[in-house]
Chains A and B, each alone.
Chain A
Amino acid sequence: MPLIEVRDLSRVYDLDSGRVTALGGVSLDIEAGELVAVMGPSGSGKSTFMNLVGCLDRPTGGHYRLDGAAVETLSGDGLAELRNRKLGFVFQQFNLLPRVDACANVELPMVYAGLDGKTRRERALNALARVGLAERAHHRPMQLSGGQQQRVAIARALVNQPRLLLADEPTGALDSRTALEILALFQDLNREGVTVVLVTHDAEVARHARRVVRFRDGHVIADIRQEPADARAALAVHDSAAPMPEAAE
């Protein structure tokens, strides 16, 4: 049974100015343990697809099963629980709460899972250590670099041990080296068993996925498998080519 089972999924917006078909009947399976890159031109429906898969939006047609559960039949609270337990989101703009520190940001999903403060704190610090930010646990987002902020966001996405990590242009706001770091993190997590779906415009980023799905005008136009590039190796090459990375960028 695939983790994601999408059949003829569509999303149509009824606007005053007419109907907009953001997604026009997409069928796709993603197995547990895959690392998939979603590509396509702007407006091709990538984000729409991600939002439906992420249970943030409801389709106007078709069917979607997540881990065997028919998502269309779920109530609002049911979707919230699914997002909380099975899904982790990483956004282009990080979306961290500015007023609280990294640790409290990572705790947020566990607050809604109903965990007590002590357990939350423990797990949040573990998750931060896993993304290499143990010492920055008590820094506020403002006091962190973009890459660090994105790693806090990834720690937050991971902390409830989700089946699926959804990342919509996670490297869009980062420089190329930091993007490689984030990709290396995704590859590590994927090796540990987390299914990752990431949207990107950047072919260089997509090279690190084993599977690439291309969208155009709300349809899947290509679905290819490839041998992924290793982000850690690329990082090593990057650093040897530019001995002083800070100065080089």
Chain B
Amino acid sequence: MSLIEAIRSALSAIGANALRSALTMLGIIIGVAAVIAMVAIGSGARERVDSQIKSLGANLAIIQAGNVTQGGVRLGAGASSTLTDEDARAVAAEVEDVVASASVITTRAQAVYAGTNWSTTITATDLDFFAAREWGLAEGRLFEPEELRRGEIVAIIGQTVAKNLFGDSDPLGQMFRIRNVPFKVIGVMAGKGQSALGQDQDDVIFVPLDTGRRRIVGRNYARDRSVQTIMVKFASEAAINPGIEQTRALLRQRHRLMEDQEDDFIVRNLTEIANTATAAASTLSWLLAAVAGVSLLVGGIGIMNIMLVSVTERTREIGLRLAVGARQRDVLSQFLIEATTLATIGGAVGIALGIGAATAIARFAGWPFVISPQTILIAVGVSGLIGVFFGFYPARQAARLDPIEALRRE
């Protein structure tokens, strides 16, 4: 008997008890659905983190001014301006494996162009910023070193600002005003899309660090060299944590902190933060894995049970098959194929259900999901294997029947 014929006759045996078969498959269906949803959501979350890290720039750490304790009261990050752009340069020069170290001051301000207003984020920074964020231009150019040194009033704008302030006309070379200071557009950044937190990263205007300090933020910053944050990019992921330790030591020394004094800055590993964002998704994944494991086990036992029942019910049939010349292995493979077919159908239904569940969860929780052909192949394979594993014992019982006793059985 060819395999296709064997499967066809297995299908007719399964169909003869459609309801019973369907109930038996339930465990496998739920198990496989959970596996599919788990993998889809897990890999979706992974993919999102990867794309976040990519959009943020890989191997980043961020140093924020603050965390100063005054009279026992801890002030939050940014509470005081202890970081300077000299710190940033020192980090670049002295910490190992630093690729870029950018000074950043951020504020919000209104940009005005020919009667159009647009409230946006102003980021005053240096060239290292663009290297750290791995962010390129759509058109125009970046700041010249000379422009940065002299604090010239030039600006590079993000896509959203370009669209809202200049509409369809070309912004390059145009003049616009921030706090009454006229800026000249020298470049437009490439589009970057939303950040991990859903912010529009293209809604930004970049100006040279000193220009921002003096012309936009105001005197406070203009007098000193302070910056809000320093963004440090390392050469590799492995270099981040040792680099952060070196940075801390360097900054403590530069800030002349005593042994018993706390840091007056905070260093964060951004890649790590992005990774922890998947914690929730991975918790759900583990939950689904547990459900999947238990259901597959229960489903397997269900198949074993129903196959044992089937062998008992069809004892005379087995006797007859043996009498007309079936060998033990023919009977064994008949029942194994039946169990495997049952499990595989369950698996197929489970895959459909799992894709549905993943779509629903993804939509509800706002997670992306990814279903690869491999996942589906593995799910089909696993359910088939469950059929073989749990079908083997009943099939062997069938094959070992004595033909005479089997024929005599009622």
Question: When the two chains form their complex, are residues A80 and B404 in contact, meaning their CB atoms are under 8 A apart?
Answer: no
Stretch at the interface among B93-101, B168-176, B258-266, B317-325: B317-325
Set of chain B residues within 8 Å of A51, measured between Cβ atoms: 404
Closest to B15 in A: A99
Checking B5, B321, B326 against A117 with a beta-carbon cut-off of 8 angstroms, the contacting residue is B5
C-alpha gap A111/B327 in the complex (Å): 11
Set of chain A residues within 8 Å of B317, measured between Cβ atoms: 97
Question: When the two chains form their complex, are residues A76 and B327 in contact, meaning their CB atoms are under 8 A apart?
Answer: yes
Question: When the two chains form their complex, are residues A83 and B324 in contact, meaning their CB atoms are under 8 A apart?
Answer: yes
Stretch at the interface among A84-92, A142-150, A188-196: A84-92
C-alpha gap A110/B326 in the complex (Å): 10
B13 to chain A, nearest CB (A): 7
Which residues 91-144 of A have a CB within 8 angstroms of B? 91, 95, 97, 99-100, 108-109, 111-113, 117
Give the residue among B5, B328, B403 with the most A Cβ atoms within 10 A: B403
Closest to A157 in B: B324
Interface size class of A (residues with CB under 8 A): 20 to 34
C-alpha gap A181/B111 in the complex (Å): 107
Give the residue among B1, B16, B324 with the most A Cβ atoms within 10 A: B324
B14 to chain A, nearest CB (A): 11
Which residues 300-333 of B have a CB within 8 angstroms of A? 316-317, 319-328, 330
Query: In the complex where A56-B403, A56-B404, A91-B407 touch, is A99 in contact with B325 (Cβ < 8 A)?
Result: no
B6 to chain A, nearest CB (A): 9
Set of chain B residues within 8 Å of A95, measured between Cβ atoms: 316, 319-320, 323, 407
Question: When the two chains form their complex, are residues A81 and B316 in contact, meaning their CB atoms are under 8 A apart?
Answer: no
Question: When the two chains form their complex, are residues B407 and A83 in contact, meaning their CB atoms are under 8 A apart?
Answer: no
Checking B2, B5, B325 against A80 with a beta-carbon cut-off of 8 angstroms, the contacting residue is B325
Checking A57, A97, A111, A156 against B1 with a beta-carbon cut-off of 8 angstroms, the contacting residue is A111
Which residues 3-59 of B have a CB within 8 angstroms of A? 5, 12-13, 16
Set of chain B residues within 8 Å of A112, measured between Cβ atoms: 1, 321, 324-327, 330
Closest to B13 in A: A99
A24 to chain B, nearest CB (A): 18
Question: When the two chains form their complex, are residues B16 and A80 in contact, meaning their CB atoms are under 8 A apart?
Answer: no
C-alpha gap A144/B13 in the complex (Å): 21
Closest to A89 in B: B323
Which secondary structure dominates where chain A touches chain B? Answer: helix
A56 to chain B, nearest CB (A): 5
Q: Is A14 an interface residue (CB 8 A)?
A: no
B65 to chain A, nearest CB (A): 81
Question: When the two chains form their complex, are residues A113 and B325 in contact, meaning their CB atoms are under 8 A apart?
Answer: yes
Q: Is A77 an interface residue (CB 8 A)?
A: yes
Checking A85, A97, A117 against B325 with a beta-carbon cut-off of 8 angstroms, the contacting residue is A85
Query: In the complex where A99-B13, A117-B5 touch, is A80 in contact with B407 (Cβ < 8 A)?
Result: no
Query: In the complex where A111-B1, A112-B330 touch, is A89 in contact with B324 (Cβ < 8 A)?
Result: yes
Closest to A94 in B: B320
Give the residue among A84, A99, A111, A113 with the most B Cβ atoms within 10 A: A111
Question: When the two chains form their complex, are residues B325 and A76 in contact, meaning their CB atoms are under 8 A apart?
Answer: no
Closest to A159 in B: B324
Set of chain A residues within 8 Å of B323, measured between Cβ atoms: 54, 56, 83, 89, 95
Which residues 271-324 of B have a CB within 8 angstroms of A? 316-317, 319-324
Closest to B317 in A: A97
Set of chain B residues within 8 Å of A109, measured between Cβ atoms: 324-325
Which secondary structure dominates where chain B touches chain A? Answer: helix
Question: When the two chains form their complex, are residues A108 and B321 in contact, meaning their CB atoms are under 8 A apart?
Answer: yes
Question: When the two chains form their complex, are residues A80 and B316 in contact, meaning their CB atoms are under 8 A apart?
Answer: no
Set of chain B residues within 8 Å of A91, measured between Cβ atoms: 407
Complex interface bits, B374-410 against A, C-beta within 8 A gives 1, otherwise 0: 0000000000000000000000000000011001000
A46 to chain B, nearest CB (A): 13
B347 to chain A, nearest CB (A): 25
Set of chain B residues within 8 Å of A113, measured between Cβ atoms: 325
Closest to A85 in B: B325
C-alpha gap A91/B408 in the complex (Å): 10
Set of chain B residues within 8 Å of A108, measured between Cβ atoms: 320-321, 324
C-alpha gap A57/B403 in the complex (Å): 8
A45 to chain B, nearest CB (A): 13
B408 to chain A, nearest CB (A): 9
Question: When the two chains form their complex, are residues B320 and A81 in contact, meaning their CB atoms are under 8 A apart?
Answer: no
Closest to A100 in B: B12
C-alpha gap A97/B324 in the complex (Å): 12
C-alpha gap A56/B49 in the complex (Å): 67
C-alpha gap A100/B327 in the complex (Å): 21
C-alpha gap A109/B324 in the complex (Å): 5
C-alpha gap A87/B137 in the complex (Å): 87
Set of chain A residues within 8 Å of B328, measured between Cβ atoms: 76-77, 80
Query: In the complex where A51-B404, A56-B404, A57-B404 touch, is A97 in contact with B320 (Cβ < 8 A)?
Result: yes
Closest 5 CB pairs of A and B: A84-B325, A112-B325, A109-B324, A80-B327, A95-B320
Ordered by A's residue number, 20 sampled pairs between the chains whose C-beta atoms are within 8 Å are A56-B407, A57-B404, A76-B328, A77-B327, A80-B322, A80-B326, A81-B325, A83-B323, A85-B325, A91-B407, A95-B319, A95-B323, A95-B407, A99-B12, A99-B13, A100-B12, A108-B320, A112-B1, A112-B326, A112-B330
Q: Which residues of B contact A (CB under 8 A)?
A: 1-2, 5, 12-13, 16, 316-317, 319-328, 330, 403-404, 407
Q: A57-B403, A81-B327, A112-B324 are known contacts; what are 17 more A-B pairs with Cβ within 8 Å?
A: A56-B323, A76-B328, A77-B327, A80-B326, A80-B328, A81-B325, A83-B323, A83-B325, A84-B325, A85-B325, A95-B316, A99-B12, A99-B16, A108-B324, A109-B325, A112-B321, A156-B324
